[in-house]
Every structure is written in C-alpha cells, then in structure tokens.
Homo-oligomer: A and B are copies of this chain.
C-alpha cells in the first residue's frame, strides 16, 4: 500500500492506526523490551500494510548514529578502488548500513571537506584510502571509528590499517626476474610518493641485495604525473631504448605503467620475454588484457576490503577496541607471458 503524499507516514500515524502509543510501535519495531506478542504482531502487520519505514533523520538524531559509513577513495573509476568499494558496499549492506562514496581525486581539500561532511552526517565509521602522505590531525573531530586501507598516510597518530604486502610483492617479482637470469632490472614507480610505492622499491632493493646484484640508480625511473601513467611509461622506455641503456627486464610498480612499457617494447620490436622480461603490479585488466599477457603481482582486493570492513565494523559495534593494529595481507605472483 502506498502513501501518495510527499511525506512518509510517521510512527505516530501508525500508532493511531493501531490504537496504541508510539512507544509501543517503537518497541514492536526494535524488538526492545516489554510488549505482548499479539500487539507486536498487529503493529508489524499494519506497518507492513502501510509500507512504513522509519525516518532515519529522527532516529539518528535521537541515537547519535546514522547506520551509514563513509568510504573515501582517490578515484572510484580506477579498477583497484572500485573493486574494493564493491566489497565494502556488500559487507555493510548485509549489516544494514548504507555507504557514502567520497571521491577525493587526490585533493587534500576535498578529503578534508568530506571528513567534515561525513562528520556532519553522523556516519558511524570511515574507511579511508588516502592519496596523501599525511593527514592533518584535525580531520578527526569526533571520535569516528576510522580504518586506513592500502595506504598508510598518517604518522602522527597510530591508526588501524590494512595493507597488501608491497615489500614482499616487489621482492618476489624481482626474485622471479633474477631467477630467470636478469641482472639489469629497470624499475618504474609512481610519483605519488605514497607509502605503497615506497615499499615496492624497498622490496626490489632487498631482492637485489639478497642475490648480490648491485643497485644501479640509472635504472630507477619515476612517473612525473601530469600525463596518463602508461603514456609516460611508454615514453620512458622509448628514451631508454634510444639512449641504448642496458637492461634485460622491467619491473613496473603498476600494471598501467607495465602496459605502457610493453607498448614501447613492442613498437621497437624487442623480443619479449626473450630479450626483455616484464613484470607489473596489481593484476588489473591492463596486465590481463595485454598481448602478451603481463606477469604481475596480485593484490587480493577482496580480502583487503573484507578485513578492513570487519575491523571497522568491530570497532563501530564495540566488539573491539580501537588500536593501531597493522594488518598486512600476502600477495601472489601471477606468471604470464612476459616472463
């Protein structure tokens, strides 16, 4: 049954319809306390009949919680983030929460504005994938439960955090290349300077060291950022080939960059994996759809999203204390045609 007014039917009206008080209706809905089975059944029947649903604004005002959370991501149109977002949404849907999607576009101002807005809307928690190195402390005004995903930007306070094992990822990628006989492994990393890119370089360095291969700074490249990352990566490899820089492998710390590198190699008729081997990072469409398909390091986005969601949920519901817990998820090597 429908309510043709522009206004939802209220609890008070339901109460009148049932011949009971609003308190009783409330008790019937929320399974809270003393009410006879019969009254309850009757009330719920009427509620169903009139398609009543609570006014969450009123409920939130009263309870100081909103049954919704915020997810802040740098770029929702990026496969990596949209997959994480999907899992988060699914997790919280099942718990009865709605999720606000907040695209920061790597803009600190927008991040800040969103924190304020989410605060204002009384969200019960925030999942935060920051584009920034640091978050200013005053973002967190209320004590909103708060979990960082993938990046770990905040060093003043210790916040709970779930990441993929970037060091291990780049270690096993580098190790694979070394075991296949490569000695001069060129790297391409993003310019964002964020935590995960830093870790990826670390793993590369560790592997070289363990296998006694000297680190050559001339093989370390960074994307500058203004252009699309695969165009930039393509240009980098183009120039390396022009200058006859000696390398027998490329480890790009993102699949997009790997794809760009691959484009350059193909264009210059370099035999892959014969002459140059290639490894990417993420296991995104870029590595899967490329031809040849690109060997990559898979990050388990499902697990990442589920653990983060569960952690936040536990904190929100008081099941768990808010700690500075650091959860690190293992990564997997996916061997494909470029090695």
Interface on A for B, CB 8 Å cutoff? 2-3, 6-8, 51, 53-58, 60-61, 64, 66, 68, 71, 75-79, 82-83, 85-86, 89-90, 93, 98-103, 105, 110, 116-122, 138, 141-143, 259, 285-286, 289-291
Using CB atoms, name the residue of chain B closest to A110. B93
Number of copies: 2
B116 near A53: Cβ-Cβ < 8 Å: yes
A100 near B103: Cβ-Cβ < 8 Å: no
A42 CB → nearest B CB, Å = 21
8 further A-B contacts with Cβ under 8 Å, apart from A51-B141, A77-B82, A291-B291, are: A57-B60, A57-B121, A58-B61, A77-B79, A77-B85, A78-B82, A101-B101, A285-B285
- State in angstroms the CA–CA spacing of A86 and B285 once bound together: 19
B64 near A7: Cβ-Cβ < 8 Å: yes
Secondary structure of the A contact surface, majority rule: mixed
- State in angstroms the CA–CA spacing of A187 and B31 once bound together: 55
- Give the one of A76, A79, A259 with max B CB within 10 A: A76
11 A-B pairs with C-beta separation under 8 A: A7-B64, A53-B116, A56-B120, A76-B86, A77-B82, A77-B83, A89-B101, A99-B100, A99-B101, A101-B101, A285-B289
- State in angstroms the CA–CA spacing of A51 and B141 once bound together: 8
- State in angstroms the CA–CA spacing of A116 and B96 once bound together: 12
- State in angstroms the CA–CA spacing of A191 and B105 once bound together: 35
A339 CB → nearest B CB, Å = 18
B122 near A57: Cβ-Cβ < 8 Å: yes
Using CB atoms, name the residue of chain B closest to A97. B117
- State in angstroms the CA–CA spacing of A285 and B230 once bound together: 13
A76 near B68: Cβ-Cβ < 8 Å: no
Using CB atoms, name the residue of chain B closest to A113. B93
Q: Which residues of B contact A85 (CB under 8 A)?
A: 76-77, 101
- State in angstroms the CA–CA spacing of A90 and B104 once bound together: 9
A118 CB → nearest B CB, Å = 8
- State in angstroms the CA–CA spacing of A7 and B99 once bound together: 21
A306 CB → nearest B CB, Å = 14
- State in angstroms the CA–CA spacing of A77 and B80 once bound together: 9
Given that A8-B119, A259-B289 are contacting pairs, would A86 and B79 also be in contact in the complex, using a CB cutoff of 8 Å?
A: no
Q: Which residues of B contact A142 (CB under 8 A)?
A: 3, 6-8
Q: Which residues of B contact A54 (CB under 8 A)?
A: 120
7 smallest beta-carbon distances between A and B, as pairs: A291-B291, A57-B60, A101-B101, A289-B289, A57-B61, A82-B82, A53-B120
Of B56, B103, B119, the contact of A122 (CB 8 Å cutoff): B56
B93 near A103: Cβ-Cβ < 8 Å: yes
- State in angstroms the CA–CA spacing of A110 and B68 once bound together: 17
A45 CB → nearest B CB, Å = 17
- State in angstroms the CA–CA spacing of A64 and B117 once bound together: 18
Of B68, B86, B90, the contact of A100 (CB 8 Å cutoff): B68
A121 near B289: Cβ-Cβ < 8 Å: no
Q: Which residues of B contact A99 (CB under 8 A)?
A: 100-101
